[in-house]
Amino acid sequence: MPRAERLEQDGVAFRDLNKNGRLDPYEDPRLPVDERVADLLAQMTLEEKVGLMFHSVTGVEGMGPPAHVTHGLIRERFITTLNVYALPDPRAAAEWINGLQEVAEETRLGIPITLASDPRHAWTENPATSMAAGHLSQWPEQLGLGATGDEELVREFGDIARQEYLALGIRIALHPQVDLATEPRWARSVGTFGEDAELSGRLGAAYIRGFQGDELGPQSVACMTKHFPGGGAQKDGEDPHFNFGKEQVYPGGMQEYHLRPFDDVFAAGSAQIMPYYGKPEGTEWEEVGFGFNKDVITGLLRRRYGFDGVVCTDWSLVTDTQLPSGEVIYAKCWGMEDASTEERVLKIVEAGCDQFGGEFCTDVLIGLVQAGKLTEARIDESARRILRDKFRLGLFDDPYVDPDEAERVAGKDEFRAAGQRAQRRSLVLLKNDGILPLRERPRLYVQNVDPEIAAGYAEVVATPEEAEVALIRLQAPYEPREGFLESIFHAGSLAFPPEQLEPILDLLGKVPTVVEIFLDRPAVMPEIAAEAAALVASFGAGDEAVLDLVFGRFSPSGKLPFEIPSSLEAVLVQKPDVPHDSEAPLFPYGHGLGF
């Protein structure tokens, strides 16, 4: 029922009376969570319990699956955890999620929707991993938070993002990502805190405390920390979203190093965990993807670490996805490629996972129980964990959001200002031949910088020949690839191809030039570093932030969260699981100058 039709008794808001004219214990917020979970679980059918175990995908009409598809997942398959990608303006987003909650409340038990989201406060737009900030406050990428090294800033980010998520009705953050970027070619480095385990654990814990608080409650957003037992040690730097990148390897013997951030994550109370796609090779673990891997999920996560929260697989381990274009994105079922759908589902549950990310094949799991291959008691185990988080988040007491509040909170001025400050804090001054900071209003030539913004700092000129100094913004190089997903990931060589490098060097030879480069992963750039008058690394920052540094409106304080290799040869011989092991790096881990 809509919030206005709820009852109030002894100052406590309740759901309306059920069909029997009474309040069930699970609807009474005065009772302990475990009692409420037990009462509800005892009333659920097998189909309703199984529905809890699927974390499917949804979207606003016109920006995702049609409404009737999403409503069908809720009404017919009893799926109540949904991952949303693109969202409209805050008011429309709030009204949309309220509509989904009304659909859910009309079902037999009225189990509310838990809405989840990938990161959506930075710059990178990748439908498989993250959304750009849009209407929300815009911060540096997580890698940029790593460059600040500041736990309090990271906690502040988590707290602000929590408030914006709450206003929109998002209750699970599919982040932080505490993988270690020890393989510089890895396309997902931008979503990490960098290559150092101590830094990643320390900042990961601060991030979680910002989102969840000291304990999970009605004002929290639950963190699904990823990716256990640590991604990043990828063979040849390829990503296990793809068959050609499925191998996770440890030639340097650093398995335990990649686990270290999780000590801090668990101490901070991360509510949920996501294992990665990768298939370990040459270890004591079974050579199947981590979501299928009982050695890792039950043996390591459940038993060694004692984790009893929700474990949700990464997306699409079971079934293939056909795009409207006709292209097929195949299931990431590494080590289980020849298994049937039923065998994959069974393997995931037996491994110890609770939810299937991006899937909706509830009938398969129901069939396995009916065939006696899984017990209903095992289904209860996962359902209990999932329900516990719904209750702790207060969703059973009031799942609705206020569109006026969403419009007021999401992207409000003080939040945007905090994001702007963080962008500046994340910038790393790699080199300065004494040109910075620029003074007064020099004649400035710019590339990939908004001339109107630059005009607030300097006299912008049309050609290098007219300029006293130049400022250019670059993107770390990558190899463009074919295919929907492959084209989105920045992978392959870290070096600038000749057709890109030559015009850059030509400009650097004409006029003293400040080079700023966005590093979503390291770049091989010794020629640029040698010829630039100054070199700045960014991890998601606007033109104003970069110009403020260049003109000395603040002193840079960021430090490199990974090292910058000196050559491709150095990258090829380093070990993918070992941090700080590039021979004679151009700039070492932790490098960063000030004024």
**How far is 138 from 130, CA to CA, in rounded Å?**
13
Q: How far apart are CA 360 and CA 79, in angstroms?
A: 8
Q: Which of 476, 517, 559 is nearest to 143 (CA)?
A: 559
CA atoms of 26 and 38, how far apart (whole Å) = 8
Bond before 227 cis per omega within 30 degrees: yes
Contact 362, 79 (CB under 8 A): yes
CB atoms within 10 A of CB 414: 9
* Phi, psi for 272 (deg, rounded to 5): -140, 165
- Report how far apart, in Å, the C-alpha atoms of 559 and of each of 120, 185, 188, 329, 418 are: 24, 20, 19, 38, 19
Nearest to 77 by CA among 359, 374, 387, 400: 359
418: which residues sit within 8 A by CB, 6+ positions away?
A: 137, 139, 156, 157, 160
d(CA 395, CA 386): 12
Q: From the candidates 150, 196, 295, 314, give the one annotated as an active-site residue.
A: 314
Q: Are strands 428-432 and 534-538 parallel, antiparallel or unpaired?
A: antiparallel
As a whole number of angstroms, the distance between CA 139 and CA 132 comes to 10
Question: Is 159 an active-site residue?
Answer: no
Counting beta carbons within 10 angstroms of the beta carbon of residue 509, is it exposed (0 to 12), middle (13 to 18) or buried (19 or more)? exposed
For 257, the token pair is 């190093």
Assign 447 to helix, strand or coil.
strand
Within 8 A by CB and 6+ apart from 279, the residues are: 240, 246, 247, 248, 287, 288, 289, 290, 334, 335
Active site residues: 314
